[in-house]
Structure 1
Amino acid sequence: MTTNHAISRRTLVRGALLGSATALLAPAGAAPAGASTAGPAGVPLRLPAPTGPHPVGLRTVHLTDPSRTDPWVGGVREVMLTVLYPARTVRGCPRAPQLSPTAAGIFADYAPLVHPGLPEPGEVDWGAVLTHGHVDAPPLPGRRPVLLYSPGGGDSRTLGTSLAEDLASHGRVVVLVDHPGDATQVELPGGMRTTVLFGPPDPATFRTMVDTRVADLRFVLDRLGDLPTASVTDPRRLGAYGHSAGGTAAVYAAHDDARIRAVANLEGYLDLRPLDGPDPFGRPLLLFRSEGFEGAARIDSSWAGLRAHRAVLRRGGHGAFTDYGALVPQLHAAGLVTDAARAALVGTGDPAPTRAALRHRVGDFFERSFRS
């Protein structure tokens, strides 16, 4: 069931999956807390620390859905999850790296192909980047809201690590969902599985991709009671959010499943299929786009008439909703990313206030939604 595809510099197309970014994959293992984050070029890449009062625990989960056939490679559908949660203590629990050594090598090859302007292979040690999630830390007692995250098209789940860690540090359980087949790489128990998609998807392929993601999200909701954090989750406070194609999937999942009480769409198109009127599911909806997104006209058209909370990430670009918002400015400062590439990837804004605005807007949205 695990497939591996050689990367062709002639066939991998920029923006292969509708404005997506390449993935950073969270492995099941962990790196020592004091591991260096300096790459071959001496660039100390760091993810920003979460701002909440709680340390963050991390567990990696593999699930199989015997009721579905994987649409890309056949066989039983598999998904990988990273579960982030407020921890009671993190003593003796190492911080997880963002990529395993194998995933880091794949990412290094893919990154400059999907997003021209990112460093070439060998220029950055992507495997040295640490998350702030502590592996297998015991969860803080108490019932917590649960948020499911679907990444951008082609992305692996932990390109959303920084925002998810911040949400978890403020008392939520956040489940990052991988979607094997369209993600550039997903590390399954049976081995590394790479994308089957090259080049922009036609409408039918994109529909399959989003429908598969919607089914993945609903399957994870069905299995929340089986996750290692089941004792601290509140099934009455379930939300979903996603970036780009993941935002599209999160909205359609909420449309189809009343268990999702609030949904945040971070720059995902909503013209895949009609929604039911201006208030399609009668629950809180956040529509959040960046000021610099090249697909703004289509975003505005597909969001027109919907009753929702709306926000704009000033001086941000499409990738500013992801961990690229923190990593690309560091690469730019080190001379490994040009001015033009930085602006195209994450916008021109100062990363600290841009990140603060994103974290506050998404966190406040879910906080208010679950109080209503």
Structure 2
Amino acid sequence: MRLFEVILIAILLAAAIAQMTKSFPGWSRPLTTLAVLVAFWHVIHEGTHWQMFPVLAGLILLVAWQLIPVSRRTSRYAAMNKPVAVAVAVLSIATFGMLLIVPMFSLPKPTGTYPIGTRIVYLKDSSRTEDKAEKPGTSRELMVQIWYPADPSNNHLAAYERLSETIPATSYRSVLWTNSREDAPVATQGGPFPVLLFNHAWGGRRTQNTFLTEDLASHGYVVASIDHTYNASRVVLPGDRVINDINGGDAIDPNLHSASDITAIWNKELSKWVADEIFVLNTLQSDDLDQKSPWYGRLDTHRAGALGHSFGGAAAVQLCSVDPRIQSALNMDGWTFGDIRQRAASQPAMFLYGITTSTEQQDPNAMGAEAELDTTDRNEVDASLRQFGGYKVSISNTSHMDFTDHPLVSPWRRWTQPGHISPARIETIVRAYVLAFFDQTIRGANPSLLQSGTPSPFQEVQIEYWSSEAKAASIETLKPPLPR
């Protein structure tokens, strides 16, 4: 909950209680007046949203009641005094409850030194035709959000999502402010900055990992997150054209389809996502050479990396096999398929996995498409790591969506998944390993977190270091020391 939301609820509740009691009736009117002032401040500076509607309705009710002359309230409407106060109190408490269930969550503060800017750009790839568009011959269109190191700016903080990109239930996110400034000037010191391409999950959206993209930008990376149109959950193109996810979860449901059928669907979509990534990187490379572009001379597209969550992680690794500008790729808790073995030894990969408990083991006798996909994925990833090297990082007491902003969205997670590590903890771990990996593979740093022979400082983490066959066929598995 945000500051003025808490203050408004507390003041209005106090005004309602004062209205009901005989000891402090004179306090109700000044408290109501103060609540009105706080409400104006909240609406103008914080931005209101549907969770606040009950308390605002309660404020209107109380103001309307107090505008009735005292003589009439005490004579004709005396019996209404307590019911009005009770209604206002109930509405205030209801708002508090709604904000607990669906809170205005706060993104963690970035850990780097750069202020962060963000801008949303529309791109059209005229060289490709959109096969899912209603109108034949439509070019492939993309919305891309870029987070980047910025110079200090007084530009307005960017919203988590634009109002047009939300549905009624999530509309509050259009006034949920991030740590990034809209269209802030690109940092003039420290560049040119390496570029990272981020891919959302199947049916996800470009903002789903803002906790991570903002942090990478604060450390001097330009992160371009792509809404993969017709797969992303909701894309708003120019002209208020809304494109929803039309693939559907049923298309890849292992209970409805065989492993080979699912893989065929994935590979078809994967080729489209990889083409999206190449197009975005080419566009940024052109912008870096364009003197009229805000990116002129500030981007290093030849020191690029790719990352993603779930299906987006597979797209990131696949990009290595077709674009030599990609120096490394990172997959967060996703199956990996496609040409994973076609990446080069100079393109290391990291695979982050979540496991529900630290002792969880896959059932070797498991049957069905999901088990087949798990086995194939494990074999392919291990073979790729054995050939080219890289890292496999397993984080205990985490699930698939813990690698996104999802744990911040509602505290229900604490009650439905009591054994999971806290959102702040998983964010710290994921941020640390992602940053260390790209610092090492793109910037040539030697972060202690990834030094061979050094156990993880996080007791939830088990890390495997794989040396490529070209260097030495070895695997080193390190567990963190047991806590004392």
TM range (shorter): 0.7 to 0.9
| Percent of pairs with identical residues | 30
CA displacement at 1:200 relative to structure 2: 2.9
User: Within the alignment, does 1:255 sit opposite 2:318 as a pair?
Assistant: no
User: Within the alignment, does 1:98 sit opposite 2:165 as a pair?
Assistant: no
Residue aligning to 2:378:
300
What is the SS of the residue equivalent to 1:275?
A: helix
User: Within the alignment, does 1:220 sit opposite 2:280 as a pair?
Assistant: yes
User: Between Structure 1 and Structure 2, how many residues are aligned?
Assistant: 314
Return the alpha-carbon distance in structure 1 between the equivalents of residues 423 and 122 of structure 2. 33
Q: Is the 8 A contact 2:341 2:384 kept in 1?
A: no
Residue aligning to 1:15:
none
1:12-68 CA distance string (max 9 Å, x none): xxxxxxxxxxxxxxxxxxx98644678342233222221111110011111100110
Return the alpha-carbon distance in structure 2 between the equivalents of residues 273 and 162 of structure 1. 30
Residue aligning to 2:204:
155
Select 1:83's aligned residue among 126, 146, 150. Answer: 146
CA displacement at 1:103 relative to structure 2: 2.1
Select 1:188's aligned residue among 237, 249, 256. Answer: 237
Residue aligning to 1:125:
172
Q: Is the 8 A contact 2:340 2:380 kept in 1?
A: no
Residue identity matched to 1:97: A
Return the alpha-carbon distance in structure 2 between the equivalents of residues 211 and 230 of structure 1. 30
Return the alpha-carbon distance in structure 2 between the equivalents of residues 312 and 96 of structure 1. 33
Select 2:251's aligned residue among 200, 203, 214. Answer: 200
Q: Higher mean Cα deviation, 296-305 or 125-134?
A: 296-305
CA displacement at 1:274 relative to structure 2: 5.7
Select 1:288's aligned residue among 336, 342, 352. Answer: 352
User: Within the alignment, does 1:177 sit opposite 2:226 as a pair?
Assistant: yes
Return the alpha-carbon distance in structure 1 between the equivalents of residues 394 and 151 of structure 2. 35
Return the alpha-carbon distance in structure 2 between the equivalents of residues 219 and 163 of structure 1. 23
Gaps in structure 2 of 5+ consecutive residues:
1-42, 53-97, 253-260, 288-292, 363-369, 445-484
Residue identity matched to 2:160: Q
1:63-113 CA distance string (max 9 Å, x none): 10011011222510011111111111122x01111122232216x3xxxxx
Residue identity matched to 1:146: V
Residue aligning to 2:182:
135
Residue aligning to 2:449:
none
Q: Is the 8 A contact 2:274 2:319 kept in 1?
A: yes
Select 1:368's aligned residue among 411, 436, 440. Answer: 440
Return the alpha-carbon distance in structure 2 between the equivalents of residues 158 and 129 of structure 1. 12
Select 1:233's aligned residue among 278, 284, 299. Answer: 299
Residue identity matched to 1:339: W
Q: Is the 8 A contact 2:148 2:186 kept in 1?
A: yes
Residue aligning to 2:393:
311
What is the SS of the residue equivalent to 1:371?
A: coil
CA displacement at 1:143 relative to structure 2: 1.0
What is the SS of the residue equivalent to 1:305?
A: helix
Larger Rg: 2
Return the alpha-carbon distance in structure 2 between the equivalents of residues 189 and 167 of structure 1. 28
Q: Give TM-score scaled by structure 2 length.
A: 0.60
CA displacement at 1:302 relative to structure 2: 3.6
Select 1:145's aligned residue among 178, 188, 194. Answer: 194
User: Which has the higher relative contact order, 1 or 2, with Cα contacts under 8 A spaced 6 or more apart?
Assistant: 1
CA displacement at 1:185 relative to structure 2: 0.4
RMSD value, Cα: 2.6
